[in-house]
């Protein structure tokens, strides 16, 4: 029998005082109930990522790609900022390419007047196809 499903829980926010920590904590507690998953918390605020994409692969980006590549599935916890998603999440998505392929992804969105629902109804297509 194969081990637990390796799940990367990706934080979408790096703002000071962010609510993302609470939401990600709740998601992790819900995942833990099943005991079928191992969770890797991928928090862009703690990864030491560069502030922009560079010509040479930064060591922090290489480590991010490795972690994403090891995951069997992803859960992205992201706030809605102005009917979109945060720059930190965009940077994480754009920094990884082949590692995303053929793996399931789920989104937990929060914030905004709609509690995060407008993010998916208004502009969800921008994240639905984030794999190359």
pLDDT tens readout for residues 46-83: 999 999 999 999 999 999 999 999 999 999 999 887 77
Domain limits at 67? 5-128
Assess whether pLDDT exceeds 50 at residue 1.
no
**What's residue 94's pLDDT?**
93
Task: Please give the average per-residue pLDDT across 11-21, as a whole number.
Answer: 93
Contact by Cβ (8 Å): 50, 91? no
| DSSP type of residue 98 | G
The CATH number linked to 37 is 3.40.50.360
Condensed to tens digits (0 to 9), the pLDDT of residues 112-124 reads 655 545 544 444 4
The percentage of residues in the chain with a pLDDT greater than 90, rounded to a whole number, is 70
Residues 124 and 60: their CA atoms lie apart, in Å, by 28
The total number of structural domains that make up the chain: 1
């Amino acid at each position: 029998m194969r081990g637990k499903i390796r799940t990367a829980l990706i934080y979408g926010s790096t703002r000071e005082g962010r609510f993302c920590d609470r939401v990600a904590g709740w998601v992790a507690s819900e995942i833990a109930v099943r005991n079928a998953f191992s969770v890797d918390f991928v928090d862009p605020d703690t990864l030491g990522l560069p502030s922009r994409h560079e010509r040479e692969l930064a060591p922090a980006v290489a480590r991010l790609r490795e972690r994403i590549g090891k995951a069997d599935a992803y859960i992205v916890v992201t706030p809605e900022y102005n009917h979109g998603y945060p720059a930190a999440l965009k940077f994480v998505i754009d920094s990884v390419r082949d590692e995303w392929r053929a793996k399931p992804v789920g989104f937990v969105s929060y914030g905004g007047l709609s509690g995060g629902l407008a993010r998916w109804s208004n502009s969800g297509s921008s994240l639905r196809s984030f794999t190359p």
